[in-house]
A = this chain, B = another copy of it.
């Protein structure tokens, strides 16, 4: 079994170590040193240069390094080979950490307290009971479900929205496009954890943000394309929304002249909410290689029509 590591800019050392430990017989090649292209069975990819995968005639599996496959599927040169997305339990817990911090940060008005600190002002601000603060999670996949659970453990009133029904005992569930307005109207702190697909692109625009209660906050750590950036700025500047924590952007790296960098109500992080780590992610890669060898169904195989 020959696996090509096709992830420009990603350090291969940890991957090489973890994969060798789990599957000693695996031959790992690090792009661009591809060797005999006819020998390559599978590719572990992140932002592969267009056309590179087409050069591999024996390719039977494209394993994505990240949980989001929207960028990969948008590549028109992608060969008709099965695609599996990543499922890294480490990313799931990292995302829950990021979201819980952001929810608590907005709940406890820590941006306002930071502004008071800059003015050296000792002033207590009005606060709201946690049980009355309504958090809404958009997207109830592995990440959304675990995050909702962690947020709920603080006592927040948590609801979740997804396109298809999910059974989660600890959140109020809203399912399907028809329920989105009602979900937004009851949400004080909105968290976007959706996959990016043609139907979720621009899902947070002026109309949706206007449905949030006055003083609501927005946390986006899914994809920049979920959010209409100009509409968020307008909703913050009008005073309708109180703040935002953003980890993802329509253009990454965020350009130096982008208004998000300097907006007093926006916290920017450079797409770090959840990062794939070889220690927690390599087991899935090895399992899918084993299944490929045995002719068994792949784990986390992508439905190219649905988009995730």
Contact = CB atoms under 8 A, between A and B. Distances in A.
Interface of A: 90, 93-94, 96-98, 100-101, 104-105, 107-108, 110, 113-114, 116-117, 120, 122-125, 127, 129-130, 150, 153-155, 252-254, 256, 261-262, 267-272, 275, 277, 279
A229 B271 CA distance: 36
Given A122-B270, A272-B127, A107 B117 contact: no
A90 B93 CA distance: 27
B101 A267 contact: no
The residue in A93, A101, A110, A275 that gathers the most chain B C-beta atoms within 10 A of its C-beta is: A101
A281 to B, nearest CB: 13
Contacts of A90: 129
Contact of A122 (B123, B254, B277): B254
The residue in A100, A120, A125, A129 that gathers the most chain B C-beta atoms within 10 A of its C-beta is: A120
Contacts of A108: 97-98, 101, 272
A109 to B, nearest CB: 9
Contact of A268 (B117, B124, B154, B269): B117
Contact of A130 (B93, B150, B154, B271): B93
Please state the number of chain copies in the assembly. 2
Contacts of A97: 104, 107-108, 130, 154
Contact of A150 (B153, B252, B272): B153
A277 B113 CA distance: 20
20 contacts: A90-B129, A96-B154, A97-B154, A100-B101, A100-B104, A101-B101, A101-B108, A113-B272, A117-B267, A117-B268, A120-B262, A122-B253, A123-B270, A124-B271, A124-B272, A125-B272, A127-B275, A129-B277, A129-B279, A150-B154
